[in-house]
Structure formats: structure tokens, C-alpha cells
Structure 1
Amino acid sequence: MVKKIWDMLGDIRISVVLLMAASATLFTGSIYAGRHFSLFRELNRLRIQDWLAVHMRSQPELVWWIPVLFVLMGALGLNTVICACHRVSRLIPQRSSLPRGKFFYLLTPSLIHFLFIVIMLGHLTTFTAARWQTIPLETGTMVAIEGKRAPLAVHAIQDLFFPKTSGLRNRISQTTVTLANADGNDIKLQYLQPVLIDGQFLFLDKIKKSKKVAMTDKHPSADKETCNKAHVYMEKKKTKQLLLIVSDPGLYIIISGLTLIMCLMTWYFIVQNMAYKDRKSCPLNKNAFSFSKG
């Protein structure tokens, strides 16, 4: 009974159904996300379980598809593992009769499937265990980072502007923030140039400039002719420089898995191309594709 269930879960037809269901769920979710962008943008700074705990109660009609997607992806991951295990279990008995290189070549697709599962687990780790911390920056203040004993001192915040001859004159082209650690060493941050400290990424962030807002002047001058001694003026809100601190344990799993997959796929297709050329040059030799037993 258990073997029947195991074989059924690893069936390729189940894979197709799960892929189609996941695709349909993602498409549906993209419509919800497009219409309620501000709601789903919160996921950029919140763990999935914290976000769902709030919105599954208040707005279940908008977020129902996310738990469904997690269930489908979990089922697809299980299906992939079972399918890969079936293939490996058929290959292992042939190990002694195959050259070592050919055995590894035949094993490579299954290894890639296992690494794909590792990458999925890395994404799950990011969704559930990552932390985000946003801190306002001002020159002369101290920045306390979670998990780091000594705070960082904000030494300077410098804005670099576009040249006066540029069409973007008077606009900021880059911002440099100089921090100092407990040893007095400077740490320079710029946009698109984050810094890694104690396993945490430090990014520069900024609150976008708001449009001019109409405000009422509560204290107009006495000589102004207004019916209620008040007039409307336009005020710009000042921008604030922020420090975004990201701790993402899943990132290392994802990068490691992708790197290994790229290496395996590169090796696999190089060998496949060599074997194809050998068969083409020796059409009568059916065993042209072979490896030496190293």
C-alpha cells in the first residue's frame, strides 16, 4: 500500500497536473497583486507567516492563493524527490557495469533535481526566517544593529549631484554614507553598493519625495486680504535617508544550489555535445559515447 502511494506521488502525470495548477495559481495571484500592489509589497519587508497572520483574518479573499501556492509547490517538491529517487534506485545497480564517467553523466539529471529542491528550501527559508530592519540615518547619531553588540556611528552623509550642464542638474546622482565601527574603521555605503557585516547586508534606502501638498497657513500677515485670514501654500516634505539591514539565511542556500546546478549543467551539455560529435564522425560505432574507468 505504501509503495503504491509512493509510486503514485512520483508519477510524471502528477507532475504535469501540479505544474499546471501552480501556473494557474500564480497567474491568478499576479492579478490580485497587480490590483492591490501596496498590500503585497509588504512582503518585501515581512516574513510570510507574520504577513499571513494579519491578512488571512482581515482580507482572506485577496490572499487565499498564497497558502494554496505553498501547498502546490510542496507537493511538486515531493513529487520531484520521489521521481529522482526512482531514477537513482534504477541506476545504482548498474554502477559496477558502467564506466565511472558515464555513471556520473547518467546521474547528473537526478542530482540537478535534488539541487532544485535545495533551492526551493532556500527560498522557503528566506520567506520564513529573513529579517529586515529599517533605521533613519542622521549625521552624528549611532545605529544599533540587531545581533551586533557595538553600534555604528554615522560620520557623514554626502550627496553627489549631476553636473550643471546635465538635464538632471540639481538632482542627486549618488549618496555616500560613512559609518564607523567600534574599532574606528570607516564603512562606506552607496546606492546599489551594499556592505556585508556579520552576515547581514546593509543597503541605503530613502523615502521617496512626496508631491507638493496644499497646506493652510494659520498665521497670515495682517495686511493680506483673505476672508478667513488664512491662505493655501505649497510645502515639500523633506526626504529621509534610511539604512536597510537585511539578514537572509536562505540566500546562501540559493546561491550555492544555483552555482552547483550551473556547474553540473555546463559539464553535462559539454559531454553531451562531445558524444554527439563522436557519433556523427563514427556513425557505424554505436559505442562511440564511452568513458574510461578511472
Structure 2
Amino acid sequence: MKPFLKAIWRFFGSMNLTVVLCLLLVTDLGCGYLCMRRHTGVFSPLNDIGLWNWLETYGTSEPSVTAWFFLLIVLLTLLGINTFVCTTERLLVLGRARKNMPLLRFTLLLAPHVMHYAVILMLSGYLCSYLTSRVIPVKTLLPGRPAVIHELGLTLTMEKLELDYFAGDRMPFFQGYAMDARATLLISDGAGFRRATLGINRPVRIASRGIFLTDFSPRKKNGGMKWASDRVDVTIREDYGVYFYLAGMLLFFVGLLLYVYDILYFKLLKKGTV
């Protein structure tokens, strides 16, 4: 490796850099928390319109309010590179010592490194989601009326809407208000049909696409306008980053299993039971 590349590698593999980045992240997130509390309207559309559209509108209209967000992306990228270099260096050292240890011990020692790589993969997935995802504007679904999403070649039909109303006496002012909604959707992609249940915290996944419930009506039982009908508002996101962070979650789970097994194995080894 050339001296210049070695210097860059050593710089990004420095523990001092890790500490500095973590301190900067804490400071930046603290500023971001205050900005988001005071300017909620600037950040709330981010998940609905996508990063690029948000940058062209809200993101650049108030740079003093959104600067922390751009700094956060830079800091997380640097932390990801730093984690990759540190983990790879440690893995190379472990690989050179492989001949002097049993295979089981070597495999168990991989656990923290597997989890570090998993975190990098998940961060890459979220970055990919923000940079490449395509968000379809809000669509309103009414019972029995097909809604064609030309951009994605999908047809959505809401067959049924079920509402869960507040139950209890602790907060009387919520009595009769719907707290959750479940919409049964019939989805056609041109090749076939499938039914799925959409909820506030239960998006529907179709390959790399996600359907999210953003609003519904009626909100109050036996209230509101008599002519108001059942409806749900949905946004649709085409997101290839989901594969990265699902793979990262699976990899993290594998690393965690190895780590737990390592702890239990050596506890039993000390007791002389294995």
C-alpha cells in the first residue's frame, strides 16, 4: 500500500477520530432535536416527498434550520468509514492468528466484527433509501373504488375499513375517537391479485415498494358530517434500501447469536460442565 493510502487508512482507523465523531454526533443531534421541535413543519414532509424533493423545497428554504441534517449525513458517513476500517484492521489481525486457535474459538471471536459490519450495512440501507427512494404523492382510497397508480403499475382497492375506538375512563375527551385503523386492500400488479391489511404501524410491502397509511376517516364514532364516508390516505414508496437494512438486521442477529453463545460457552467451560 502506498504511503499516501496508508496515511488515509490510518486516519480513518484512528480511535481518536471515533471519539471526535461521536461527540460531534451527540452535539449535532442535540441541535437537531431543538430545530425539529421548533420547526416541525420543515421536517415532517421529508418522509412523504423524498429527500431530493425536500432538498429543493424545504431543505434549502431555511438553511439555518436544516444545516444540522446535512451535517448529520456527513458525520454518519465518516463514522461508517471509520467503523469499517477499524473492524477490517481487527479482522486482519484475527485472521493472522487463525492458525493458533480452534475453529470454534475463531468463529466466536468474529461476533463483534459481524455486528459492526451489520450496522454499516443498515446505515448504508438508510442512506440508499433517502437518496434513491421514489415517493408517490398521497392517494385517497374509498371503499370499492379502484385507484390506479400509473407510476408503479399498481391498482389498489380498499375492500373494508375497521376502526378501533378509544376504550377506558382515564381520558374522557378521547371517548368515541378512533385510535387505530385497519384497511383491507386488494392489490393488483398486472400479474395477479393479493389481499393485505394496512394499518398505522403496519405498512404493506410489495417487493421494494411500501404502502403507508397516513390518514383515515371518520375519526369520531357517530360524529362528523353525515355524508362523510370511510376513506384512507396512503403514500407509496419505492425503496431499494430496504434490502440492505434487512440484510444488515439478519447479519446483526447472527453476530448477536455468536456473541451470546460465546458468553454461555465460556461460562459453562469455567464451571467444568463442557
Q: TM-score, normalised by structure 1?
A: 0.74
Task: Name the CA distance, whole Å, in 2 between partners of 1:83 and 1:161.
Answer: 49
Do the aligned residues in 2 keep the contact of 1:209 with 1:237 (CA within 8 Å)?
A: no
In the alignment, what sits opposite 2:186? 179
SS of residue matched to 1:13: helix
Q: Is the 8 A contact 2:216 2:232 kept in 1?
A: yes
Alignment equivalent of 2:155, drawn from 147, 151, 155: 151
For 2:19, the equivalent position in structure 1 comes to: 16
User: Deviations for 1:25-70, whole angstroms, at most 9, x for unmatched residues?
Assistant: 0111010001111211111212223312323432111001111111
TM-superposed CA distance for 1:71, in Å, is: 1.0
Cα pair 2:42 2:58 within 8 Å, conserved: no
> Where does 1:11-50 land on structure 2 (aligned, <5 Å)?
11-50=14-53
Alignment-derived partner of residue 61 in structure 1:
64
Question: Which residue is 1:222 aligned to?
Answer: none
Aligned partners of 1:191 and 1:268: how far apart in 2?
35
Shift of 1:268: 1.5
1:55–1:255: structure 2 CA closer, same or farther, 3 Å change rule?
same
1:243 to 234, 237, 240: 234
Bigger drift between 272-281 and 251-260 goes to: 272-281
Q: Match for residue 254 of structure 2?
A: 263
1:190-243 residue CA offsets vs partner (Å, 9 max, x unmatched):
424443335423343326789xxxxxxxxxxxxxxxxxxxxxxx9999585323
Q: 1:143 to 1:92 in 2, by over 3 A?
A: same
Contact 2:121/2:248 (8 A) holds in 1: yes
Which has the higher mean CA deviation after the structures are superposed, 44-53 or 168-177? 168-177
Decide whether the 8 Å contact of 1:161 with 1:170 is kept in 2.
Answer: no
Opposite residue 255 of structure 2, the aligned amino acid is: L
Deviates more, 1:39-48 or 1:29-38: 39-48
Matched residue pairs, number?
A: 260
How big is each residue's C-alpha offset from its partner over 1:74-118, in whole Å with a ceiling of 9 and x where there is no partner?
111111111111112212222222211111222222222122111
Which residues of 2 match residues 1-294 of structure 1 at below 5 A? Answer: 1-2=3-4, 3-133=6-136, 134-146=138-150, 148-149=152-153, 151-154=155-158, 156-158=159-161, 160=163, 171-172=177-178, 174-179=181-186, 181=188, 185=193, 187-192=195-200, 193-206=202-215, 240-279=231-270, 281=272
What's the C-alpha RMSD, in Å, of the aligned pairs? 3.6
1:141 is paired with a residue whose SS is: coil
The change in CA–CA distance for 1:279 and 1:189 in structure 2 (over 3 A counts) is closer
Distance of 1:170 and 1:107 partners within structure 2: 54
Rg bigger for which structure? 1
For residues 57 and 74 of structure 2, the distance between their equivalents in structure 1, rounded to whole angstroms, comes to 19
CA distance in structure 1 between the aligned counterparts of 2:43 and 2:194, rounded to whole angstroms: 37
Deviation, structure 1 residue 142: 2.7
> Which one-letter code corresponds to 2:206 in the other structure?
I
TM-score (norm 2): 0.78
How far apart in 1 are the matches of 2:164 and 2:82? 54
Identity of aligned residues (%): 24
Question: Which blocks of at least 5 consecutive residues in structure 1 are unaligned?
Answer: 211-233, 283-287, 289-294
Give the gaps of 5 or more residues in structure 2: none
- Separation (CA, whole Å) in 1 of partners of 2:8 and 2:167: 71
Which SS does the other structure have where 2:153 is aligned?
coil
Greater helix proportion: 2
**Structure with bigger RCO (C-alpha 8 Å, 6+ apart):** 2
Q: Is the 8 A contact 2:114 2:251 kept in 1?
A: no
